[in-house]
Structures are given as C-alpha cells and as structure tokens.
Amino acid sequence: MEKESFYNSIHYQVDICIFPSPILILDGFNIITFNDELTKILPEGANLSVPKNIQEIGLFRENQLLQKFYSFIENRSEVTDFPLSLWNGATVFVSLRNFQQDGKQLTLVSLFRFALSQTEKFETIFGNINYVKEVLDKFDFWILIRDRNSNLVLCNKSFEKFVGIPQEKLIGKSIDYIFGSTEVARIQKETDKELFEGKKDQIHFHIQVIDSEGKTHFLEVSKFLINFGGESFVFCISLDTSELDYIRQLYEESSTLYRALIENAFDAIYLMKGRRYIYVNPRFCELTGYSYEELTSPNFDFSVFVSDESKKFLEERYRARLEGREIPNQYELEIINKSGRKIYVEVNTVSVGKPGEVVVMGIMRDITQRKLYEKQLKESEERLRELNYAKDKFFNIIAHDLRSPLSGLISLTKMLIENFEVLSPIETKELLVDLLEYADQSYNLLENLLQWAKTQTGSIPFKPENTDLFEVVLSSIVINEPNAKQKNVKIINLVQQGSYSYVDRNMITTVVRNLVSNAVKFSKPGGNITINLQDKDNLYELIVEDNGIGMSKEQIDKLFKLGENITTTGTYGEKGSGLGLLLCKEFVEKNGGKIKVESEIGKGSKFIVILPKFQPSLTI
C-alpha cells in the first residue's frame, strides 16, 4: 500500500497521522493523503494509492445516502455527523470541512464510529484537551472555540501570537476582554448568537482587526457549531487575507485607472473572441458609427463595415490565426462606417486567448487624414515628375525639333543668295516654297511651345463662353487649307452652324487646328478629312476623321503621355514634336471634356473630342 507523508511531500501544515480516527483529505474527489486509521477499515485486499478517486476504493456501501454524500463533496458543502454504511454494513458518521492551503481548495473528511452529538465527554473522542490543542496548533490560521456566552474555551498558537497573550490567560475570557468594546467584538458576539439561535448553520464574513503591534489585518472568518458532551460550542476559523486584500485593492484601483484610460483613449480599442466583439470602447463606437449594444450583440457581423478588399484580407488573417501561422500584428484597413463614409485605419493586434481559440485585443487609429496627405504627396511627386519630363521635353524640342527647320531655313536662304543669279525663276520659286514650309514649321512649333509653356505655368486665362463650333472648325480649315491642297487632300466640314458649346474659344480653336493639321500631315495624297459633330444629350462629340496611314495600339497607348517619343514622319516627310496632342489633351480637360482616339494601321484615325453643350442662361 503506497502513501506519501502528507506533511513532508505535500507541504500542508498538519500531520493527520496523529488523529485517532480515520482521516483523509480530498482535492475534489481525489484522495491526496490519508492516515493509518483509514487503512484499518478498507475492504480486504484493497490497495489504496494516491491520488485515488474516493468513489473507486469501495469503502462505502452503495445507497441513496452515499450519492447524497458525493453531492456534498461536489458542491463543497460542509456537514457534520452524516451517517453512511461501510462496505461491511457498519455505520459511521462522516464530517466534511473545507479549507484552503497553498492556493488549493481542499476537503478534510473525518470518520467516527458514533456521532459527536452523542458523546459524553470531550476527552472521549480525542483523549484529552492537550491532545486537541496539539492538533489545532498545527494550523497557521486562527482557531477559536467559544461557548454560548462568547467566552473562549480553546484557541491555537496562531491566535495566541496575534493577540500577544498565552492561552492560559485567555481561557474563560470573554470576546470583549480580548478585543475590547470594538466593532470586532460586537460582530463576533452577534454572529455567535445567530448560530446558537439556529438562524444559520454556517456564517462567513470579512472583518478588519488590529494586532498587538498595531498592525491592521483583513480576516476571512468562518464559524459553525460543534457538539461536545451534549453541549454546543462555536468553532471559529479566521484566515489572514491581508496580503490578498491589499493585492485585490491594488487590482481594483489599477483596473479603475486602466478602464478610465481605455474609455477615454483617442484610439479605438476592442476585444474580439472568434468573430464577435466582446468589448469596444467609446472611440470604437464613434469611429464605426455603431452603438456598444450593436457591436457586442451575438448576431453582429463585423464585415458590414469592412470593404470587399479588406474582407478578403481579414478572412485570410483569421484562418492563419486559427492554424497557428505567424501573421503581422500591424496592418492598414479600409472600413465604411454606418453613415457610409470611408475611413482608413491602422490596426495593431495582440493575441490574448488560450491555444485553440482566437481572442484578439486590437487598437485602431484613424489615419484617413494621413492617407489624404500621402495621396497629395504622391500626386505632388507625380506632378513634379511630369514637370521634369516637361522641362526635358522643352529643351529637347528647342535643341532638336526647332533646330531642324531653322537650320533648313538658314541653309536654303544661303543657297538662294549664293545662286540667285544662276537660278531660273522656277528653281527660285521651289526654293522659296521650301523656305515657306520651314518657316511655317518653325512658327507652328513656336506657337505650340508658347501655348504649352503657358499651360505648365497656369498663365493662360480660362474664359469659357457659348462658342459656335462651326466657326471654330471653319477657321481651322482655312489655316490648314494650303498644306491640304499640296497633297490634294479634301477637308469636309459637316458641323452645322449654330452648334454652340460652353468652352474657351481660343483653347478649343487650338485643339481643332492641331487635330486638323495632324490629319493633313498623315493623310495620303487625294485623301479625305471629315469633321463632324454628334449630339449626345448634354454633350457634343466633335470628330476629326481621316483615311490616312493610321496607328498601332502601342502608338495609341503612348499618345498624350509626356516623355514618350511618338513622333512620326508625315506622308510628305513632315516632322513634328508630338507637343500638339499634349496641348490638345490639356485644353480639352480644362474645358471639362475628354479626348479619345480610334485608329487602325492603313485605315486612318478618328479623334473624338467630347465637349459640354451651351448654357441657355448665357447670352449668345
């Protein structure tokens, strides 16, 4: 039979082996120690080793009383003189007393062959009063036994040490003698009286007392009646919980402080178990627009304020957390509050749950304004990049595109001067025509450079007015007519007179002139250019279409992009800078419109300019 010394191995402060009756101590239903007296009443051949479930040792005979006894153990009830039948049919009286040791809730089980209330003398059970005193002195908490008059019958050394008076001088003294006329004495006497009057079977309360050295103690007191020789006495146990109460007080104070900090925090704080919020602070409610009751409701679905893109991200995080995979604790999220407003938040999380469950504490900070600044900064960087491209493009045009026609102009002029006397009139005219073409190229390039430079600096005035697009198209045709005649290209104006659009006349004239010029440049000899206008509700679509050489998809994708070299030589070798189309795009968008292109190699191109219609409230 295996058994460990209760005092030496488990370190409880009582040696139950000195008890003359069978004793065992339970942790729940498990026997963790017992004395030798218990082994004497076990069934023959029974082998008791610890820990062992009391229900499995076969000590008691199965009946309804035994099941009730087990329920007392399960509910941690304290009983005295409860009758049970041993395995051999003998009757015993069992008492249960609960106590706490080293943080464990334990039960002391005592077995007697007769009820304590039936004993004639105190000494009959335990031998003598000194033997009982020796047992009680083993406990480090206070134990007092008092009579009906609240006079002390017995106490242990722990109590003697507390009051600073030996037992010899305490026996027979009243509670008032020990504690004086204090609140402690009053409560003790009143609760003793309640027990003797049968108002309560057990009494538990907390009380504050001052010891002989003036130190304050917080006590947890339990008391009940016991019977000796037909007399009833109060058995009082007092545990000093001063340290625990101090810790509890600190905890309550710190909890109050931390709760105040959380409730008034600038950031949104939440606690989430699985997919449900179990706590949110006021800032979280303010940020999402939902009330505390709504957010912590079991039926609330957190995905209602998360964007579709963010939902996928959170679902993946949730799966990873369940699987125990490592995930970043900081991330950014886009949420949509109850009013529909989009908010960007930065989230910091920490897992606080047990293994196998997902409990997360999170802190959310509104970074919408920061995101806006980041977007503005990105746009500024992009704008700066475009300006750098513009600068490079500007110098490139001056260095190359403008230099070429000027060089040709100088070269032809020099040739004309040096060979004036030997040139025939026809040859002279041909040189003069070439000179005019170089001059036109230089002028058009300078004009576009000037307009484009003004758009970059914002110095072009914007004056929208109701403008007849027929007149704009007509003036553009007149300017481009000489070049068109050289290629035998026909320009057809299908725009109806009186087609008014609310735009800046000068800007849109520049746009149409450049588009018609490009159409002429890339038209084959004998080709046609059609300029048409389509009515689209509150908009006009001005279409400049040619049947020239056309463009590939790659070329179309590069149109209107600064820094892309998309210059293509015309059908007569005409050169350009590509600046005209950039100018067209900026002017069209400035007027609240759009420009798009449809083209196919060998079949021509179609430029569509979308413009707002006229405003009737304005005078034409």
Is residue 386 assigned to a domain? Answer: no
Q: What is the average pLDDT value for the chain, to the nearest integer?
A: 79
Q: Is 448 helix (H, G, I), strand (E, B) or coil?
A: helix
Rounded Cα distance between 446 and 138, Å, is 110
So what's the pLDDT on residue 404?
56
Cβ atoms of 12 and 100 closer than 8 Å: no
Q: What is the mean pLDDT of residues 137-150?
A: 86
So what's the pLDDT on residue 21?
77
Q: Which of 457, 473, 491 is the last residue of a domain?
A: 457
Is residue 178 assigned to a domain? Answer: yes
Q: Which of 20-24, 232-236, 517-521, 535-539 is least confident?
A: 20-24
pLDDT digits (tens, 9 = 90+) for 44-64: 777 788 888 888 888 888 888
So what's the pLDDT on residue 261?
75
Residues 156 and 289 in one domain: no
Residues 176 and 51 in one domain: yes
Start-to-end CA distance of the chain, whole Å, equals 117
Cα–Cα nearest to 449, from 334, 609, 578: 578
Q: How many CA atoms lie within 13 A of 120 on its CB side?
A: 1
Is residue 440 assigned to a domain? Answer: yes
pLDDT-derived band at 97, boundaries 50, 70, 90: confident
Residues 51 and 120 in one domain: yes
Cα–Cα nearest to 308, from 274, 333, 279, 275: 333
Domain, as residue range, for 233? 6-239
Q: Is 164 helix (H, G, I), strand (E, B) or coil?
A: coil
Residues 329 and 313 in one domain: yes
pLDDT digits (tens, 9 = 90+) for 245-304: 555 666 566 666 667 777 888 888 888 887 788 888 898 899 888 998 988 888 888 778
Residues 32 and 175 in one domain: yes
Cβ atoms of 108 and 143 closer than 8 Å: no
Is residue 442 assigned to a domain? Answer: yes
Number of domains in the chain: 4
For the beta sheet containing 52-53, the strands, ordered from the edge strand earlier in sequence to the opposite edge, are 52-53, 30-34, 23-27, 104-112, 91-101, 79-85
Residues 198 and 312 in one domain: no
Cβ atoms of 351 and 321 closer than 8 Å: yes
pLDDT digits (tens, 9 = 90+) for 578-597: 667 877 888 899 899 999 99
Q: Which of 420, 436, 457 is the last residue of a domain?
A: 457
Cβ atoms of 26 and 73 closer than 8 Å: yes
So what's the pLDDT on residue 124?
39
Residues 13 and 160 in one domain: yes
pLDDT digits (tens, 9 = 90+) for 162-192: 888 888 888 888 888 888 888 888 999 999 9
Higher pLDDT, 150 or 118: 150
Q: Which of 416-430, 496-510, 541-555 is least confident?
A: 416-430
β-partners of residue 534 are 541
- Does residue 560 come out as left (phi exceeding 0), alpha (psi in the -120 to 50 range) or beta? left
Alpha helices in 306-424 (DSSP H): 308-322, 368-396, 403-418
Is residue 396 assigned to a domain? Answer: no
Residues 56 and 179 in one domain: yes
Residues 221 and 187 in one domain: yes
Rounded Cα distance between 136 and 150, Å, is 19
CA 232 to chain CA mean position, Å: 63
So what's the pLDDT on residue 358?
65
> Quick one: which H or E segment has residue 236?
strand 231-240
Residues 482 and 421 in one domain: no
Query: For residue 272, what are its two tokens?
Result: 């989430």
pLDDT-derived band at 127, boundaries 50, 70, 90: very low
Q: What is the mean pLDDT of residues 401-405?
A: 58
Residues 448 and 569 in one domain: no
DSSP per-residue string spanning 545-597: EE-SS---HHHHHHTT-TT-------TT-----SHHHHHHHHHHHHTT-EEEE
Q: Which of 198, 221, 239 is the last residue of a domain?
A: 239
Residues 425 and 481 in one domain: no
Does the pTM exceed 0.85?
Answer: no
Cβ atoms of 519 and 602 closer than 8 Å: no
So what's the pLDDT on residue 342?
87
Give the Cα-Cα-Cα angle 498, 502, 508 (nearest 5 degrees).
Answer: 90
Is residue 55 assigned to a domain? Answer: yes
pLDDT-derived band at 608, boundaries 50, 70, 90: very high
pLDDT digits (tens, 9 = 90+) for 479-511: 788 788 888 999 999 999 999 999 988 889 889
**Residue 355: which CATH number?**
3.30.450.20
Residue type, 18: I
Is residue 250 assigned to a domain? Answer: no
- Does residue 210 come out as left (phi exceeding 0), alpha (psi in the -120 to 50 range) or beta? beta
Cα–Cα nearest to 448, from 578, 358, 318, 322: 578
So what's the pLDDT on residue 440?
73
β-partners of residue 92 are 84
β-partners of residue 60 are 86
Q: Given a cut of 50, is residue 123 above it in pLDDT?
A: no
Within 8 A by CB and 6+ apart from 584, the residues are: 510, 511, 514, 515, 560, 595, 609
Q: Given a cut of 90, is residue 14 above it in pLDDT?
A: no
Is residue 45 assigned to a domain? Answer: yes
Q: Which of 140-149, 398-407, 465-474 is least confident?
A: 398-407
**Residue 491: which CATH number?**
3.30.565.10
